[in-house]
A and B are shown apart, each in its own frame.
Chain A
Amino acid sequence: MIEKRPITTFISHFVIIVGIIIIAFPVWITFVAATHDAIRMTQSPIPIWPGDQFFINLKATLWDGISESDTRPVAFMLLNSLIMAMIIALGKISVSLLSAFAIVYFRFPFRMGFFWMIFLTLMLPVEVRILPTYEVVAKLGMLNSYAGLTLPLIASATATFMFRQVFLTVPDELLEASRIDGAGPMRFFFDILIPVSRTNIAALFVILFIYGWNQYLWPLLITNDQSMVTVVMGIKEMLESAEQAPVWNKIMMTTLLAMIPPIIVVVFMQKMFVKGLTETEK
């Protein structure tokens, strides 16, 4: 605290707490819904306090899943989501670190052309170009594979754009100093640039992991293999049971389970994030 202003501080706390309550409310309702039995969740008004069915629902959802025939437990879907999210996050970070480095630190022909070409992909989500993209993936024989599942989602410029912005704020002196030390471009990249931008890498990992984890329409279209069902697809399947009323307690339990891994990533990476920030301040 820079100076003491108890009233302002109190108001700050108060406003944040109110904001948190409003923002967390839908998640709270999810949790509550996951603790009741199926019948209770079809009767108005819906409860706002937890019931006693949490562990029963948890066990049923995690190990039995949607299907009572034990074919697709949610635990298994979670694993698929994890694989998909990791490939997308790590793949996209690697690819865009390299290209942002090239665009910011090198003078070479077609540099701006490449930049604009990449930058344009920032804008069009996969949903809009979904059918032509599907045909391309099919032509390449990549249906039902993790490559077909993830590569088209890696083709987006968010991360490249972000790293470009980060690299632009890196002081020029760093490169000059590294040159004096006789370091080549790649040594500069690995020894200086990546350490300098590790907080951004951490933030992007969080973002991209969640982006990958939350994909729905694309995985649904390109995977025909029940062994590749992800948890978000699983929830949509529960929500859209043709002429059946949705089973809210199981759906909300699965939703909760689907939220836990990204939350773990957010919370865990947050620590690294803060650590990185305090270190740079030293």
Chain B
Amino acid sequence: MTKKNITSVSMIAALMLASVSTSALAQTEISWWHAMGGVNGERINKMATDFNATQSEYKIMPVYKGNYTETMTAAIAAFRAKQQPHIVQVFEVGTATMMAAEGAVYPIEDMMKDTGEPFDKSIFIPGVISYYQASDGKLLSMPFNSSTPVLWYNKDALDKAGVENVPTTWDEMDAAAKKLVDSGMECGYSFGWQSWVMLENYSTWHNQPIGTKENGFGGLDTELTFNSDALKNRIAKIAAAQEDSSFVYGGRRGDSLPKFTNGECGMWINSSAYYGSMKAQAKFNYGQAMLPLDTDVADKPQNSIIGGATLWVLKGHDQDDYKGVAQFMNYLATPEVQAWWHQETGYVPITTAATELSKEQGFYEANPGTDTAAKQLSLNPPTANSKGLRFGNFVQIRDVINEELEAIWAGDKTASEGLDTAVERGNKLLRKFEKAND
């Protein structure tokens, strides 16, 4: 014991003095912090390895840093400590925070120009990049994994329940859900990522504003206005649909996925990016269709908006490093890489060329419905209400929305009370953000 104690004390002392020195390699290492675990993490590693094999000057080093929020916080903490990575993957709700940090982020378009790498913005799908453009049209970050909510349906269950056509309106949804329950299903429909699906996309789909100042694109003094009668009615109807299990709430994010893949719920509204999981887990015929339309609110759908994440470049490295970053970004945008990523994961391709390539390869023919997401996004030219949203502190605001919606589903609040409170609490967070960033 005596010896052990002394050894361990000296070990600690040695450790205290030791600082890790990164070995100097001929190659320039470029760090890429991402939030993709599991199979998608493997795909990210493959992209990096493939890129590294195409040239010898730069080496992309992908690092998993936890989920989306953990990754973003890790990158910000690292920036404060001047240890930031070159590239960080940030989810769409973090956009306003990243944008406001003018001294910290290196807009993609500026970086491309400064490093002299070729860059043509017109190859991207407008519905995908509009979310990440500054008011002057400058592209700030590189769309990476984008998706949009779609209506997933269990074909077999709908057939069994006698529902002939996949619902296209909310009235048809309600009717189909009733039939599903009557035919013995445990639940008619469910959804995940409820703020994104039922609030943000519901609003853009019906061309309704979520907040003032073009959903925040116009300035930090924006205010939330989603507590409209249209949304209140819809949320109230959904809450009431719990009565006969037409609707069953299954948790935040994708927690309700097993409800659909297990055959409990016949319909499920969530990201098109669950395609990979569906392929692996659903033991029935399934398909994806466009989001249902609320005919009380609009005659025709506008367009849906994306979710997912983009790659942001952080300042503070050698200018030479950014040449490698720029080359890598261009590599990611090539039709081959994008088409592969799209077909493997169900994420939306970010360039028109990748869609074309997928079509040529016969992907959409072999997998009907897989182009739903891309169609929804480019259904109409985006309006001020539907090009996306840009609210500060939106991570927290989404939590507030989650909390209030959960209170509504649980019957603790009416739809009207819950949404009014959500707006009120959300606006407080917006003011806080304005104060911190002005």
Q: Interface on A for B, CB 8 Å cutoff?
A: 38-39, 42-44, 66-69, 71, 87, 90-91, 93-95, 97, 131, 134-135, 138-139, 141-147, 150-151, 154, 190, 194-195, 198, 201, 220-221, 224-226, 236-247
Contacts and interface: CB of A to CB of B under 8 A. Distances in A.
B37 A66 contact: yes
A67 B66 contact: no
B316 to A, nearest CB: 14
A87 B11 contact: yes
A38 B39 CA distance: 13
A241 B39 contact: yes
Interface stretch (B96-104, B216-224, B273-281, B399-407): B273-281
Interface stretch (B77-85, B324-332, B416-424): B77-85
Task: Describe A's contact surface by its main secondary structure.
Answer: helix
A245 B254 contact: yes
Contacts of A247: 38
Interface string B336-357: 0000000001100000000000
A150 to B, nearest CB: 7
Given A68-B42, A94-B8, A144-B20, A220 B15 contact: no
A220 B257 contact: no
Contacts of A135: 77, 80-81
A246 B12 CA distance: 38
Contacts of B308: 243
Interface residues of B, number: 62
Most buried by A among B4, B12, B73: B12
Given A151-B16, A245-B257, 8 more contacts: A39-B281, A67-B42, A134-B77, A135-B81, A138-B81, A194-B2, A241-B41, A243-B147
A138 to B, nearest CB: 3
A135 B276 CA distance: 39
A240 B252 CA distance: 13
Nearest to B16: A147
Give the most central of A95, A141, A244: most B CB within 10 Å.
A244
A242 B68 contact: yes
Contacts of B280: 38-39, 245
Given A43-B262, A243-B254, A198 B38 contact: no
Interface string B64-90: 111110100110011011110100000
Which of B1, B16, B38 has the most CB atoms of chain A within a 10 A radius of its CB? B38
B81 A66 contact: no
A201 B15 CA distance: 23
Given A69-B46, A194-B2, A243 B77 contact: no
B271 A243 contact: yes
Contact of B9 (A42, A94, A237, A243): A94
Interface in B231-287: 254, 257-258, 261-262, 264, 271, 273-274, 276-277, 280-281, 283
A90 B77 contact: no
21 contacts: A38-B280, A42-B281, A43-B283, A66-B37, A66-B41, A145-B18, A145-B19, A145-B20, A221-B74, A224-B63, A237-B66, A238-B37, A238-B38, A240-B66, A242-B36, A242-B68, A243-B40, A243-B274, A244-B39, A244-B40, A245-B258
A240 B68 CA distance: 9
A242 B2 contact: no
B20 A224 contact: no
B33 interface: yes
Contacts of A226: 61, 63-64
A146 B81 contact: no
B133 interface: no
B281 A245 contact: yes
A239 B261 CA distance: 18
A242 B147 CA distance: 12
Contacts of A95: 9, 12
A241 B37 contact: yes
Contacts of A42: 258, 261-262, 281
Interface string B1-27: 110110011011001101110000000
A242 B19 contact: no
A241 B258 contact: no
A135 B82 CA distance: 10
B168 interface: no
Interface string B40-63: 111001100100000000000101
Given A39-B281, A90-B4, A146 B31 contact: no
Given A134-B77, A142-B19, A91 B38 contact: no
Contacts of B33: 224
A91 B11 contact: yes
Contact of B81 (A43, A90, A94, A143): A143
Contact of B145 (A91, A242, A246): A242
A64 B333 CA distance: 30
A71 B37 contact: no
A131 B11 CA distance: 27
B23 to A, nearest CB: 12
A19 to B, nearest CB: 31
Contacts of B5: 93-94, 97, 194
B291 interface: no
Given A69-B42, A71-B45, A91 B271 contact: no
Contacts of A139: 81
A147 B18 contact: yes
Given A69-B45, A239-B37, A198 B15 contact: no
Interface in B274-315: 274, 276-277, 280-281, 283, 308
A50 B81 CA distance: 49
B35 interface: yes
B15 A87 contact: yes
A194 to B, nearest CB: 5
Contacts of B4: 90
